[in-house]
Structure 1
Amino acid sequence: MKHSTFVIRLAGSLLLLAGTAGAQTPETAGYLDRFEGEFAKIQVNGHQQLLHRSGKVIVDKIQEVSSYRLVSAVKQGAYGVVDRKGDIIAPFRYDAVKVLGESNRENPGENYCLITVKLQGKTGAVDSLGKVLCQPEYSDIEVLTPKTFSIKKNGLYGWCDMKTGKLLQEPKYTEVSRSYVIDGLITIQSQGKNGLALEDGTVLVPPKYERFMGWDSQQLFSYYVPGGKCGLMDRQGKVLTPAIYDDINAGPSDALVAVKVQDKTGLLDVATGKLKTPLQYTRVDRLGPLFQVWKGNLCGLTDSMGKEVIPAVNTEIQLYDSKGHSVLGAIVSLGPSSAAYTPPYYAVAKKGATAAFYDASGKQLLPFDYSDIRLLPLHDKVYAALLKDTRCGLADLSGKIVMPVQFAGIDNNYGTSNYNDDAAGEEKNNFICVLKEVKKGEAGVGLFNIATGQLVIPAVYSGLRWQNADMIRLEQGDSSGLADKTGKIIRPLKKYGAFDAVSPQRIVEKRYADDGSTTLLTNKEGRVLYENKYWEFSPLSFNRLLTPEARKTWPLQFNSGLLKVKGYSRENQFVDTAGKPVVFDEYKYVGDFNNGIAVATTQDDRVGIISIDKKVVYPLVLDDLAPADDELLKMKQGKKAGMLRKDGSVFLPLEYDDIDRVYDTSLYIITRQGKKGVLNAEGKELVPAAYDEIRYNRDSRMFEVTKDNKAGLLGADGSTLVPAIYDDLDQNQAWGDNSPFPVLVKQGEWYLYLDAQGKPLPYRAKKKKGYND
């Protein structure tokens, strides 16, 4: 069932049909059906009809439901229109009606609503409030612009004001249409020629031209005369140049346009009407804030004033903005969407198989030494990726080389290389994963520090994994080792070696001997601090109940000064950074510490939380402790449930039968003594625990409740919308606004409708519509 996205509070108790003092007796119908949007099917006097959600209007047939929920419908063979409140705004007396409207949230200035009505072959207009804009006296009426509508009389067109119906232009043109050369203009046509007019009816350009063409949102446009020649006009209709050009194209500003005569194009200064750049180009294209100009197969760039900043000697030019987006015309390509580009701008110019890098002023930042150059966003910066044959490197946007061209590729944790830097710390963005071919078809990974300009780890490894902000695990086939962030080898590669940095200064390693293996805690220099042959260390295996969500994928580290010794015969033993064992003898199990606390169990498997100094943070009396979300834990004791915060403090006490978080909200459905209620984000009662069942509908943001086999509706704030006193409840199947109202309910032997205020609609029935009705 679909419901509304808003909640309506009841002013008082709901009015019920049965036993309501002073209430008018509703009309009895043969059957009622639930609402589907604006209407519900009901049977009146043996005939199926459609009841509007207001309860005010019954119609025989729906023609259309508009975006403003205006409904054109048929009643007793006549057409009319009903608004969302159920008011008749076009009475049911017309031969035809049509609702014309545009509802655009992104561009509300484009919105309009107009109703056309037809009577005895003539057309009139009504607005969305029912005001008659013009009587049925025209042969046709259509929307012209969001502020005007066209009228047709005696084969000629004029237009009227959309709001007032005032006649703005008498019907005197053979055609009128919305003009897109400049917003707010209307194209008028007479004797096969076109002109332009303002919406208020003022003729801006008399109808004597072939056509007009505009560009984007600029204030200029071109006009065309017989023979296909064109000239330039401004938005006031002033002729700026004679019609002597074959074509005119927009420039990066209103000051400069491209004009074409035969096969040559030049740049025209709009202010003077004279050529700023002679007719010397074979093609000119607007490229963001610049012009891309061509001489035959070679291209260059000019600035917004026509100065050639990059000579037309290149085979290709690509313009980028400072975010690394490719600039295409007036739009920046951003993949699935588009947005305005961000200066400053940079250009990659190619001459055959070589590429160079320029800024928008034409300053050459990198020479023609590369096979390709592309702008590449990495972390929080944008770089120029330099390609030379099969090798690549990086430069910053000033042209400074920050990584030499010597690598097979760059992969900053987004490609197929085995590189993971989620635990790399604050300097993470300084490091770039680089690739080099180690075997044919096989690339090794390494690490380059952009800040220092140094290759800290050569690209010879099959995988790199940051252990913490200082240490990196090295993998090469079945061998592993460790390096620090400067590239210093802390543990050289060892076949079947297992080295894991559990802090910047401590390493867990596994050593093999003829009589088996042993796991050791060592310092960086290799001195053994602790060893245990039963220790089964795994960097990604630890108790995560108290760990923040963002750190659950990080390798296991010393936390609060302790590291758990897993796999040992005792599940309560740790080792400190000095290698001294720390045993929590009072407990059967102690999980990994986080911020000084850990989950622990007693010998009889009672669960709680303790601190690193062995103090009880939450009593060890629980049967179970499980994750609820990133901030909370669900605790159980016997048949009771509660909630703990991850610092061990109580969010909800152990007094509920069950607790379930409502998805997409900070609300909780609780069960107490078999009855359900709702708590808010602070744990305070929103809905008392008085219901047998509560289901949250996230579309309507309402709770569907049942109590003693009776159904009702509650708002997201806990307010009663429909009390749980009905034997049956069907919500409105509304597709547009998701409103559940009116609802079809059953009380006793009667079916009836309730609106959003709880008031009954004026029909009831002893039967609900069946499949065969």
Structure 2
Amino acid sequence: MKRFLLLFSVLVIGSASAQTPVMYDAIGFDSYDALFVKVRKEGRNYFCHPVSGILVDGVEDHAGDLVVVVKDGAYGVIDVNGKLLGGFDYDEVKLMTHYDGQWYPGIRYNYQFAQLKKDGKYGLVDQHGRTIAEPRFQELSVLNKDVIGFRENDKWGWLRASDGKTIQQPLYDELGKSYLFEHTLEIYLNGKKGIAHENGELLIRPVNDRLDNIFLQSRKYAHFFKGKNSGLMDSTGAIVLPAVYETLIPCGGSDFLQVQEAERHGLIDVTGKEITPALYDKIHDFVRGRAIVEKAGRMGVIAENGELLLSPQYNEIEFRNSSGQIAFGNPVVADFNPVSNLSKEYLNRKAAEDNMKALPYYLWVKNHEHKIGVFDWKGVKVIVPEKFSEISTLYQQGETYFHAVQGNLYAVYDKQGNEILPLKYRLQTDVYINRSYNYGDLNTSPYIFPVYDDKQLGLYDVQKKKFIIPVSEVEISWLNERCFEVRRNVEGVSYTKESAVYDIDGELLIPYSKDIYQLKMLSEQLLLAEMESQYVIFDMKGRKVYERADWNRNGYYSGYTMPEYHNKGDKPFKSGLFKIRIKEGNLFIDEKGKEVRFTGFAYVSEFWDNLAWAVKETGDKVRYGLIDIKGNVVLEPQYDRLDAINDHPNLVMVRKNGKYGVLDRQGKLILEPVYDTISTFSPELLEVTLKDKVGLTDNNGKMVVEPRFDNISRNYSGIKRTWPVLVQEGNDFSFMNEGGRPSLIRGKSKIY
């Protein structure tokens, strides 16, 4: 367990309350544990807590808010704030902590204890340093956050974690955690097993050869054994099913139990009522009230009332959802703790999965001739007949379609079992190379889907019962939910393509032209296209809304420094105006194609939140300011230069009269332009230089570390990958804790 142990002399430095700095030969960061820094004294390195000043030889373990440390061969435990919980008086310290799920920063622990060993006996303290038990027990076991098991005179009892008072005197041979009933423990006596309540009440006497857990869909039971037979008990110890069953196996996704007679399986409920007789070689878990059964090497399906929906006659049966995914059971999936800050992408994906779960499921069968078919969930209606070698699913915005393959051809069926397209379309010969259908997720219609015929492609509308784009050698790219681009080869001309734009009804918006490239939606109603090297904006009726001869792919570099703001999901006309990038740096259009200029400015940036940076030129002087969408001056042009700041997307560095300051995106002054340099230090901090001295400010302009140091080093292994920072002032080194609070640790040099 021990990672290292440095046997040095006891070194105790002044506490934080004494306010007495301690000078070391050298100080530096420790890459092993974020809570400590390194200090060197008389040629030896030690570990020091930068807040409390506690000095130790080594760091053994760290979990939650507790840290095991070593000093002079003795063990102790401190909290993350550097408070010593007791003294350095133990032969061993072991952390006993627990949390649910996968660890992440900030996770909530169910409990945090430190087990203390001294002279072969064990005691316990909690995360606050409160002594639960002095080291006097043979052994300790944390059973849960409320109960601690202890062994005394080779027998086990338990005590209360809150105050250390004994609940159960030592009586049992063993204790264990119970995962079956709340507030219960597993007890063992004379080789027999039982269950007791945390308060000491005996629920199930320890007279059972075995006592397992049975978890049904909505209930939990204790599975007890008498000889070769078994039965069920509830949380009070009352017998639910007598011990007359050779086997009792929970059937997943249900409240049923599998029983066995003469090597055949059947189902009963917890009252002993027979659901289905013991007829089958195997019964699979239930999914939405259906279970696959096997008999004599064949598969069938039963309902949860025991009714046989499909007789065991198939080689294979699968349960599939509307997107064609195989469903194996009804697992209970817990959400992550809210502290983990679930991403928007995760929440959207989970919502989509929940929607999918609400849609119909289907029974996929393969018969003895290896032909595949699809039944509805009741096992009554044939959706796709059993005559195909392969069936795949096309899920389109809530509607399910089946591609049924026979040989090299396929047909298409809808979810009601109607044949939409006959068996005549060829499979794609190379689905990995063929990329002729793009951005299909933009197609929100549940009734329009692509149809391939080898390398040819078309679009079919189920409601209209026709192809809106006939199958041919084309490429289709969706531009938004209402329109798409179709590209095809120019007849008689090699390596040349032409493009057209259609709407979702199949109406031609922009006729075929070989000079159209780089189509992009600017809004729901406007489309940007490149034609003959020039940009043109069309509306959804194919009419030209805007074009000009000098607006093309080459653009124009203005020479002005402008921070760019590109938030994911922002649309070009978000503020109502779209910037035309030409030599004239002050040109915009509205959604009707009307040109808009802002009088008196040489250049205006793109708008964000209805604001834009604006440049005013007076002679050879260039000044930057801020205007709103109506051209009103929000911030007078007064700055010589603007620059983005890495890791600080909402801040802008400005220069005025050779000095630097900071604004936010709304033009609010964060830092006066009085600094020699400003740069990013961390996502939360800026480093500023004033008269060759450096300091730190936060993103709101609050001075965290005054600019009086020669150098500041970030602690990438520390708190927030920043703290404590190491500062240098002349030949002296020291640490600053989080928030800029001075540490008592000083050094004559730096440990690298």
Q: TM-score if structure 1 supplies the norm length?
A: 0.75
Partner SS, residue 225 of structure 1? strand
> Which residue number in structure 1 is paired with residue 557 of structure 2?
none
Give the alignment partner of residue 755 of structure 1, picking from 727, 732, 737.
737
> Which residue number in structure 2 is paired with residue 295 of structure 1?
295
Partner SS, residue 331 of structure 1? coil
**Does the CA-based 8 Å contact 2:516-2:529 persist in structure 1?**
no
> Which residue number in structure 1 is paired with residue 437 of structure 2?
419
Partner SS, residue 608 of structure 1? coil
**Partner deviation per Cα, 1:142-163 (whole Å, 9 max, x = no partner):** 3223433322223333333333
Paired with 2:161 and 2:230, the residues of 1 have a C-alpha distance of 34
> Which residue number in structure 1 is paired with residue 3 of structure 2?
none
**Does the CA-based 8 Å contact 1:156-1:174 persist in structure 2?**
yes
Paired with 1:320 and 1:501, the residues of 2 have a C-alpha distance of 37
**Does the CA-based 8 Å contact 2:253-2:285 persist in structure 1?**
no
> Which residue number in structure 1 is paired with residue 49 of structure 2?
52
- 1:284: Cα distance to partner? 0.8
1:66 equivalent to 2:82? Answer no
1:681 equivalent to 2:660? Answer no
Give the alignment partner of residue 745 of structure 1, picking from 721, 727, 737.
727
**Does the CA-based 8 Å contact 1:176-1:189 persist in structure 2?**
yes
Partner SS, residue 769 of structure 1? coil
Q: TM-score if structure 2 supplies the norm length?
A: 0.76
Paired with 2:502 and 2:547, the residues of 1 have a C-alpha distance of 12
**One-letter amino acid of the structure 2 residue matched with residue 326 of structure 1:** I
Give the alignment partner of residue 38 of structure 2, picking from 35, 41, 50.
41
Relative to structure 1, is the Cα distance of residues 417 and 711 closer, same or farther in structure 2, using a 3 angstrom cutoff? Answer: same
Give the alignment partner of residue 89 of structure 1, picking from 82, 85, 91.
85
> Which residue number in structure 2 is paired with residue 350 of structure 1?
366
- 1:309: Cα distance to partner? 3.0
Paired with 1:50 and 1:678, the residues of 2 have a C-alpha distance of 38
| Ranges in structure 2 where 5+ consecutive residues have no aligned partner | 1-16, 335-345, 553-571
Paired with 1:101 and 1:149, the residues of 2 have a C-alpha distance of 13
**Does the CA-based 8 Å contact 1:251-1:304 persist in structure 2?**
no
**Partner deviation per Cα, 1:552-598 (whole Å, 9 max, x = no partner):** 789965447646778xxx6389xxxxxxxxxxxxxxxxxxx987866
Relative to structure 1, is the Cα distance of residues 414 and 678 closer, same or farther in structure 2, using a 3 angstrom cutoff? Answer: farther
1:125 equivalent to 2:124? Answer yes
Identical columns (%): 22
1:617 equivalent to 2:610? Answer no
> Which residue number in structure 2 is paired with residue 6 of structure 1?
none
- 1:87: Cα distance to partner? 1.7
Paired with 2:156 and 2:209, the residues of 1 have a C-alpha distance of 18
1:450 equivalent to 2:462? Answer yes
**Once structures 1 and 2 are overlaid, which stretch shifts more, 209-218 or 70-79?**
209-218
> Which residue number in structure 2 is paired with residue 115 of structure 1?
114
Partner SS, residue 112 of structure 1? strand
> Which residue number in structure 2 is paired with residue 361 of structure 1?
378
- 1:46: Cα distance to partner? 6.2
**Does the CA-based 8 Å contact 1:109-1:146 persist in structure 2?**
no
- 1:373: Cα distance to partner? 4.0
Paired with 2:508 and 2:426, the residues of 1 have a C-alpha distance of 34
Give the alignment partner of residue 669 of structure 1, picking from 627, 631, 653.
653
Paired with 2:525 and 2:501, the residues of 1 have a C-alpha distance of 21
**Does the CA-based 8 Å contact 1:209-1:223 persist in structure 2?**
no
- 1:73: Cα distance to partner? 0.8
Paired with 2:39 and 2:366, the residues of 1 have a C-alpha distance of 73
Partner SS, residue 607 of structure 1? coil
> Which residue number in structure 1 is paired with residue 6 of structure 2?
none
Paired with 2:18 and 2:166, the residues of 1 have a C-alpha distance of 48
- 1:127: Cα distance to partner? 0.9
- 1:121: Cα distance to partner? 0.8
**Partner deviation per Cα, 1:208-244 (whole Å, 9 max, x = no partner):** 2224143477533463536554333334333322334
> Which residue number in structure 2 is paired with residue 260 of structure 1?
260
- 1:113: Cα distance to partner? 0.9
**One-letter amino acid of the structure 2 residue matched with residue 756 of structure 1:** E
Relative to structure 1, is the Cα distance of residues 414 and 728 closer, same or farther in structure 2, using a 3 angstrom cutoff? Answer: same
> Which residue number in structure 2 is paired with residue 720 of structure 1?
703
- 1:682: Cα distance to partner? 1.8
**One-letter amino acid of the structure 1 residue matched with residue 192 of structure 2:** K
1:231 equivalent to 2:231? Answer yes
Paired with 2:743 and 2:315, the residues of 1 have a C-alpha distance of 74
**Does the CA-based 8 Å contact 1:60-1:75 persist in structure 2?**
yes
- 1:259: Cα distance to partner? 1.5
Paired with 1:164 and 1:387, the residues of 2 have a C-alpha distance of 70
> Which residue number in structure 1 is paired with residue 9 of structure 2?
none
Relative to structure 1, is the Cα distance of residues 254 and 356 closer, same or farther in structure 2, using a 3 angstrom cutoff? Answer: closer
The 5 Å alignment of 1:247-396 reads: 247-251=247-251, 255-271=255-271, 273-289=272-288, 290-321=290-321, 325-331=325-331, 342-343=357-358, 344-352=360-368, 353-366=370-383, 368-371=385-388, 372-396=390-414
**One-letter amino acid of the structure 1 residue matched with residue 518 of structure 2:** L
| Ranges in structure 1 where 5+ consecutive residues have no aligned partner | 1-21, 438-442, 481-492, 511-518, 520-536, 574-592
Relative to structure 1, is the Cα distance of residues 674 and 199 closer, same or farther in structure 2, using a 3 angstrom cutoff? Answer: farther
**Partner deviation per Cα, 1:428-469 (whole Å, 9 max, x = no partner):** 5542111113xxxxx211111133232233322142356888
Length, aligned pairs only: 672
Paired with 1:469 and 1:479, the residues of 2 have a C-alpha distance of 29
Paired with 2:47 and 2:676, the residues of 1 have a C-alpha distance of 35
**Does the CA-based 8 Å contact 1:502-1:558 persist in structure 2?**
no
**Once structures 1 and 2 are overlaid, which stretch shifts more, 114-123 or 187-196?**
187-196
**One-letter amino acid of the structure 2 residue matched with residue 770 of structure 1:** I
Paired with 2:479 and 2:254, the residues of 1 have a C-alpha distance of 57
**One-letter amino acid of the structure 2 residue matched with residue 89 of structure 1:** L
Give the alignment partner of residue 731 of structure 1, picking from 702, 711, 714.
714
The 5 Å alignment of 1:530-541 reads: 537-540=515-518
> Which residue number in structure 2 is paired with residue 27 of structure 1?
22
Relative to structure 1, is the Cα distance of residues 431 and 252 closer, same or farther in structure 2, using a 3 angstrom cutoff? Answer: same
1:608 equivalent to 2:586? Answer yes
**One-letter amino acid of the structure 2 residue matched with residue 696 of structure 1:** T
> Which residue number in structure 1 is paired with residue 569 of structure 2?
none
**Does the CA-based 8 Å contact 1:356-1:370 persist in structure 2?**
yes
Paired with 2:653 and 2:319, the residues of 1 have a C-alpha distance of 56
Paired with 1:312 and 1:323, the residues of 2 have a C-alpha distance of 26
Relative to structure 1, is the Cα distance of residues 476 and 112 closer, same or farther in structure 2, using a 3 angstrom cutoff? Answer: same
**Does the CA-based 8 Å contact 1:127-1:163 persist in structure 2?**
no
The 5 Å alignment of 1:514-533 reads: none
Paired with 1:692 and 1:187, the residues of 2 have a C-alpha distance of 69
Partner SS, residue 342 of structure 1? helix
Partner SS, residue 372 of structure 2? strand
Relative to structure 1, is the Cα distance of residues 308 and 325 closer, same or farther in structure 2, using a 3 angstrom cutoff? Answer: same
**One-letter amino acid of the structure 2 residue matched with residue 416 of structure 1:** N
Relative to structure 1, is the Cα distance of residues 181 and 744 closer, same or farther in structure 2, using a 3 angstrom cutoff? Answer: same
Paired with 2:709 and 2:411, the residues of 1 have a C-alpha distance of 72
**One-letter amino acid of the structure 1 residue matched with residue 187 of structure 2:** I
**Once structures 1 and 2 are overlaid, which stretch shifts more, 81-90 or 381-390?**
381-390
Paired with 1:454 and 1:541, the residues of 2 have a C-alpha distance of 27
Paired with 1:618 and 1:375, the residues of 2 have a C-alpha distance of 55
**One-letter amino acid of the structure 1 residue matched with residue 685 of structure 2:** M
**One-letter amino acid of the structure 2 residue matched with residue 617 of structure 1:** R
The 5 Å alignment of 1:144-223 reads: 144-182=143-181, 184-207=183-206, 208-215=208-215, 218-221=218-221, 223=223
**Partner deviation per Cα, 1:115-145 (whole Å, 9 max, x = no partner):** 1111111001111111111121111213223
**One-letter amino acid of the structure 2 residue matched with residue 313 of structure 1:** Q
- 1:257: Cα distance to partner? 1.8
- 1:414: Cα distance to partner? 10
**Does the CA-based 8 Å contact 2:528-2:537 persist in structure 1?**
no
Relative to structure 1, is the Cα distance of residues 359 and 220 closer, same or farther in structure 2, using a 3 angstrom cutoff? Answer: farther
Paired with 1:302 and 1:248, the residues of 2 have a C-alpha distance of 19
Paired with 1:684 and 1:750, the residues of 2 have a C-alpha distance of 37
